[in-house]
């Protein structure tokens, strides 16, 4: 282990030295031109050539035809190399958290989402037709109720990571037995229910799947999502609180609630454009079924 650490420490020192040389040779804000930096013969030259290639890929360097020399493209690039040298020398990872989703601008590079969003934005600039890098399956529930003459309101849940109100539901997990189980699990979590039993508490009616390609509001990368929507008929009034609200169709189409909060209801809007689909569940007006329902007909999520 000590030999491995020693080798890694030596490579890091070589990299920092190269970054410092490049930064010192960068053009200045006052207009002084940059200087060419050549690699000398050394035991670590192949390793340093790889670093030059990577920095050239990032656009910070211009390499000579033989690939053994490089010049920094701008003062800003020189500053970035100095920062990278300091970060590398510190031994701390550039990204502190590779697990939490979401994008933050207050603490850049605190989360992997920041880097992913930045890389995706640049990828889309140079490759506008680039394919999605992420593919997921998700189940969503359409819960509605009548209000006034030919008016319906829809129940949405707030997604803190996306910063918007969305249809209740979520991504299919590896241990979900099916897409219906995914929806029941998500409804239980998002509606704050202790348990959900079918058909005692609700019934589900599947609708045709939807395919959507968009930038994920949670991870910031182009994502292809196969949505499995269900009309959900609740047999009891759902709990409506801080994270669950009813919205009108006009608010859905505007993308904002009456209080200005963002609504991201793309799947539901796509369904509303289909006149052949009946999105009206019987909602909360349906009485609860008789308590003698067969146990074999129950699907319980605990």
Q: Which segment of 166-180, 185-199, 233-247, 273-287 scores lowest on mean pLDDT?
A: 273-287
pLDDT band at 253 (very low <50, low <70, confident <90, very high): very high
Torsion of CA 33, 34, 36, 40, to 10 degrees: 140
- For strands 222-234 and 134-142, give the pairing: parallel
Q: What is the pTM of this model?
A: 0.69
User: What are the structural domain ranges in the chain?
Assistant: 2-90, 94-130, 134-301
More confident position, 235 or 248: 248
pLDDT band at 164 (very low <50, low <70, confident <90, very high): very high
pLDDT band at 289 (very low <50, low <70, confident <90, very high): very low
Quote the CATH superfamily of domain 134-301: Nucleoside Triphosphate Pyrophosphohydrolase (3.90.79.10)
pLDDT for res 294 = 28
CA distance 74 to 63: 14
Dihedral sign of CA atoms 72, 114, 222, 251 in order: negative
Residue 186 neighbours by CB distance under 10 Å: 24
- Among 165, 179, 196, smallest CA distance to 268 is for 165
The tokens of 123 are what?
Answer: 């990828």
Strands of 53-151, DSSP E: 61-63, 69-72, 134-142, 144-146
- Among 134, 3, 22, smallest CA distance to 82 is for 22
Give yes or no for a cis peptide into 199 (omega within 30° of 0).
Answer: yes
- Degrees (nearest 5) of the Cα angle 239, 217, 172? 65
CA distance 93 to 189: 34
Residue 283 neighbours by CB distance under 10 Å: 20
CA distance 93 to 228: 39
pLDDT band at 2 (very low <50, low <70, confident <90, very high): low
Residues 85-139 have pLDDT tens digits of 988 888 888 888 888 888 776 777 777 778 788 888 888 888 888 899 899 999 9
First to last CA, the chain: 46
The whole-number average pLDDT for the span 186-212 is 86
pLDDT for res 54 = 95
């Amino acid at each position: 282990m000590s030999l491995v650490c020693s080798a890694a420490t030596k490579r890091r020192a070589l990299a920092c030295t190269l970054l410092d040389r490049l930064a010192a040779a960068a053009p200045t804000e006052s207009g002084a031109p940059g200087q060419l930096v050549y690699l000398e013969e050394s035991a670590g030259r192949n390793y340093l050539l790889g670093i030059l290639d990577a920095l050239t890929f990032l656009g910070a360097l211009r390499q000579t035809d033989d690939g053994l020399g490089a010049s920094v493209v701008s003062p800003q690039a020189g500053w970035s190399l100095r920062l990278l040298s300091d970060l590398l020398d510190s031994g701390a990872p550039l990204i502190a958290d590779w697990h939490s989703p979401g994008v933050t601008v207050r603490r850049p590079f605190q989360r992997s989402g920041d880097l992913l969003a930045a890389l995706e934005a640049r990828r889309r600039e140079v490759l506008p037709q680039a394919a999605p890098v992420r593919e997921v399956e998700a189940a969503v529930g359409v819960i509605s109720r009548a209000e006034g003459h030919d008016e319906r309101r829809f129940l949405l849940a707030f997604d803190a990571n996306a910063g918007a109100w969305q249809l209740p539901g979520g991504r299919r997990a590896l241990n979900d037995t099916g897409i219906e189980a995914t929806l029941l699990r998500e409804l239980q979590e998002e509606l704050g229910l202790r348990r959900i039993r079918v058909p005692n508490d609700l019934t589900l009616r599947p609708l045709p799947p939807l395919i959507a390609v968009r930038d994920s509001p949670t991870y910031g990368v182009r994502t292809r999502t196969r949505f499995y929507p269900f009309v959900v008929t609740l047999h009891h009034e759902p709990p409506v609180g801080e994270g669950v609200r009813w919205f009108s169709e006009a608010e859905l189409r505007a993308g904002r609630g009456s209080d200005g909060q963002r609504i991201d209801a793309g799947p539901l809007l796509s369904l509303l454009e289909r006149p052949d689909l009946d999105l009206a569940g019987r909602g909360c007006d349906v009485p609860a079924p008789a308590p003698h329902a067969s146990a074999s007909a129950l699907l319980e999520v605990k």
